[in-house]
């Protein structure tokens, strides 16, 4: 895990923010734990690690998402969760994301940190038509994608 991300998470936790780190299925959370321990010692109580928990439940408790390349971005957008990403990493969607209210592609680590800290205090509202940026322009595209994502979350809850 990047030292920049660890430093930002540490700063947020020190400011009283509760942080959940959701590991990718291919990642080993032990790597995060080891990096944190080497840098800061034991994991604080305000830091929760999750790998297999229910995504819908996690998103229901999420105010702001800090993420890298992930399709969970679409789940966040459907659930009106603002997103901050390191914009210097090309995601393949960067051009389309720059104009979306509630999605911030940070230019630097300092910009990423400042945006997270600002949005924790004053979260932006997402554009109600944000999903339409990811679908075909027919009149039902955004509704169909939103329904599909919500059904996917529901199916995960039943599994």
Q: Read off the pLDDT band of 148 (50, 70, 90).
A: low
Question: Whole-angstrom Cα distance, residue 101 to residue 126?
Answer: 5
pLDDT at 156: 45
Decide: 106 and 85 in contact? Cβ < 8 Å: yes
Q: What percent of the chain has pLDDT over 90?
A: 19
Looking at the structure of the chain, the number of domains it has is 1
pLDDT at 133: 60
Give me the mean pLDDT over the 1-23 stretch.
87
Answer left, alpha or beta for residue 9, where phi above 0 means left and psi between -120 and 50 means alpha. alpha
With 0-12 CB in 10 A as exposed, 13-18 as middle and 19+ as buried, what is 38? exposed
Give me the mean pLDDT over the 45-70 stretch.
87
CATH of the domain at 45: 3.40.50
Domain extent, residue 153, equals 3-158
pLDDT digits (tens, 9 = 90+) for 80-108: 899 898 887 777 766 667 777 788 888 88
Answer left, alpha or beta for residue 102, where phi above 0 means left and psi between -120 and 50 means alpha. left
pLDDT at 149: 62
Give this prediction's pTM.
0.73
Q: Read off the pLDDT band of 151 (50, 70, 90).
A: low
pLDDT digits (tens, 9 = 90+) for 121-138: 898 888 776 666 655 555
pLDDT at 146: 64
pLDDT at 157: 46
């Amino acid at each position: 895990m990047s030292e920049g991300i660890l430093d930002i998470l540490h700063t947020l936790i020190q400011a009283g923010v509760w942080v959940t780190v959701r590991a990718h299925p291919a990642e080993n959370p032990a790597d995060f734990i080891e990096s944190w321990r080497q840098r800061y010692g034991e994991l604080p109580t305000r830091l929760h690690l999750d790998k297999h928990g229910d995504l819908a439940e996690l998103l229901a408790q999420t105010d702001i998402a800090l993420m890298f390349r992930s399709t969970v971005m679409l789940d966040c957008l459907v659930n009106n969760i603002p997103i901050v990403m390191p914009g210097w990493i090309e995601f393949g969607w960067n051009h389309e994301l720059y104009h979306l209210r509630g999605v911030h592609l940070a230019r630097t680590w300092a910009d990423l940190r400042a945006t997270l800290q600002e949005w924790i205090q004053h979260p932006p509202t997402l554009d109600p038509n944000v999903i339409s940026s990811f679908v075909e322009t027919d009149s039902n595209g955004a509704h169909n994608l939103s329904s599909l994502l919500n059904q996917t979350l529901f199916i995960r809850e039943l599994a």
